[in-house]
Structure 1
Amino acid sequence: MARSFTSQDLVALPRLTAAESVVLATELITVADAREKQLKPKRLPEAIGRSRGRLVAAVAALEALTRPQGGDPVETRTKPKADRLLDNAWSGTFDWLGGWCKLPPERNPGLDEAKELFKLLFPDGLSFTRLPYKLEWKESKARLDAIRGARHDRTFKKLGGEGFLAHLEEAHEAYGRALHITAPKPESAPTGDVRAAFLATLAALRDYATRVAAHADPDVPGSEAVSAALLAPLAAWESRPAGSNGGATDVPEAPAAPSAPSMEAPPEPEEEPLADPA
């Protein structure tokens, strides 16, 4: 089998997850940007500059697939929090409306409407708020529909409870979205895409390390110092213990660099790798 001496064969990267590869690549890019400003002329050697550009593109693609999805905070509210919000909204309305129902007629001209509304909303008290999430949402919706259908929004207004009704509607809407009943569940990036972007970032890291290491020439003053400075983040990287996931996402770790085919002649002493995997 023919021997291969590409950067993918020669450079052994530290043990990395997708998130860690983003961090390491960003450190290398940051050092390269700072070092470039110190050079005369202020640009990196062409081969290193092109390799850095490929690394920038690769890590940007990986970041785009692994960063948390943004959006409306209501949409991303957790189910328990949304459940508590709705429970509190109905409990508050229960206490408020129950208070009006306890007033004598001379203190509450809208007593009949208040009692009718209370009977409509709470025939079994607040027991519906203890139902499973989706059944509670259904019962909550039925009550809100009944309020509008019987025009009891005017009763809320008459009794000064517009704020309670508005809070009920907002909490119910948040609940439906948190349960993904009224809003679709956000789609996550396909795992295959993340893996491909991760492997592309690892390849770009190896390519960059090879280009920078190749720049060091003992006959060119300063080249070795530049090479060492550019690779400092890689040389200083501390790998996690084997078996530790470091809180990373479920993306495969950096595969070990394939070993080159053995030579027929007795092997020479092994050279140090371009990047210390420790």
Structure 2
Amino acid sequence: MSRSFSPTQLVVLPRMTAVSTARLLAELLETASREPGLPIAIAADRNTLAVTHETLQVELGKRVFAEGEASPVVAVADRVEDNAFGALSDWLLSFKRLPVERYPAAADAARVHDALFGQGLGFLRLRAADEWQEAETRIRILMEKGFDVVIANLGGKPFLDELIFAHTAYGEALGITKPRPASDPHSLGKAQGEALDALRSYVLRVAAHVRENDPATAALAERLLAPLAAWKSRRPKNRRSVPAKEAARGKAPEEAVVAGE
């Protein structure tokens, strides 16, 4: 059987998740940035590594947005809805304080306020999805009881319009009323795979730069690959680390492990 000299076969990396892969690449790129005047070949592979790292970061960002409610988009939508409910409540309270005998509309405002906010605004401090549902319940009551007409007749249509706008945006941000972008596991896996391929090529390029009669090249390789050598991983025991210089000589695939415990 012919022997393969592909980076995948020559460089055995520790087992990593997509998150740990991104973190390792960030460390390697930061280390390389401290080396002025990198050899052209190494710099080219470093640039490829940076591109794949950015792609992986983007895919990880999609996953975080899809899984977490506390994304920046949700947080902004939450504040907008909180403000809309608070503004409507304050406006109705202002009407409610007027003497009913001189301002009959104050009774209508009081009726709407008590129905919607009789228990206060505490629901705005609930977990995001629960808050949205409590808000949805109040808006349904508002519409079913005809309170929207009452509010409009009192001159509060801008408050009502803002509330509907804010609530719609909040539901979309949470993915309740409109599906939000989700991370495609295949896209994330592909991005990690490409990042690992770039990492293997980078390791080989750095190792190939080492010259027997030039200690400075070995020192450069050691510095550039230090984050990988120090990486903590749960790889099988009895795997031994091989110096970059030995990897450059063409060690057997199973021996070309550049990462240590």
Could you tell me how far apart the structure 2 residues matched to 1:124 and 1:53 are? 62
Decide whether aligned partners of structure 1 residues 141 and 185 sit closer, same or farther in structure 2, where only a CA change above 3 A counts. farther
Question: How far did 1:170 drift?
Answer: 4.0
**SS of the residue aligned with 2:75?**
coil
Partner of 1:211: 205
Partner of 1:273: 256
1:12-23 → structure 2 map (5 Å cutoff): 12-23=12-23
Question: How far did 1:190 drift?
Answer: 2.2
Decide whether aligned partners of structure 1 residues 10 and 95 sit closer, same or farther in structure 2, where only a CA change above 3 A counts. same
Higher relative contact order, structure no. (Cα contacts within 8 Å, ≥ 6 residues apart): 1
**SS of the residue aligned with 2:208?**
helix
Could you tell me how far apart the structure 1 residues matched to 2:257 and 2:209 are? 12
Q: 1:177 aligns with which of 162, 169, 184?
A: 169
Could you tell me how far apart the structure 2 residues matched to 1:76 and 1:135 are? 19
Partner of 2:68: none
Question: How far did 1:270 drift?
Answer: 9.5
Could you tell me how far apart the structure 1 residues matched to 2:96 and 2:54 are? 57
Aligned length: 225
Q: Which amino acid aligns with 2:33?
A: D
Partner of 1:245: none
Task: Point out where structure 2 has 5 or more consecutive residues left out of the alignment.
Answer: 66-70, 124-132, 236-250
Q: Which amino acid aligns with 1:178?
A: Y
Could you tell me how far apart the structure 2 residues matched to 1:80 and 1:185 are? 17
Q: Which amino acid aligns with 1:145?
A: D
- Give the % identical residues: 22
Partner of 1:139: 141
Please say if residues 13 and 277 of structure 1, whose CA atoms lie closer than 8 Å, have aligned partners that are also in contact. no
Query: Is structure 2 residue 52 aligned with structure 1 residue 58?
Result: yes
Task: Point out where structure 1 has 5 or more consecutive residues left out of the alignment.
Answer: 157-164, 243-267
Please say if residues 151 and 160 of structure 2, whose CA atoms lie closer than 8 Å, have aligned partners that are also in contact. no
Decide whether aligned partners of structure 1 residues 124 and 24 sit closer, same or farther in structure 2, where only a CA change above 3 A counts. closer
Q: 1:118 aligns with which of 110, 124, 148?
A: 110
**SS of the residue aligned with 2:74?**
coil
Question: How far did 1:83 drift?
Answer: 7.5
Could you tell me how far apart the structure 1 residues matched to 2:254 and 2:196 are? 22
Partner of 2:39: 44
Could you tell me how far apart the structure 2 residues matched to 1:15 and 1:44 are? 29
Question: How far did 1:16 drift?
Answer: 1.7
Could you tell me how far apart the structure 1 residues matched to 2:7 and 2:143 are? 61
Larger Rg: 1
Query: Is structure 2 residue 205 aligned with structure 1 residue 202?
Result: no
Please say if residues 7 and 201 of structure 2, whose CA atoms lie closer than 8 Å, have aligned partners that are also in contact. yes
Please say if residues 11 and 273 of structure 1, whose CA atoms lie closer than 8 Å, have aligned partners that are also in contact. yes
Partner of 2:245: none
Could you tell me how far apart the structure 2 residues matched to 1:229 and 1:144 are? 70
Partner of 2:97: 99
**SS of the residue aligned with 1:49?**
helix
Could you tell me the TM-score, scaled by structure 2's length?
Answer: 0.67
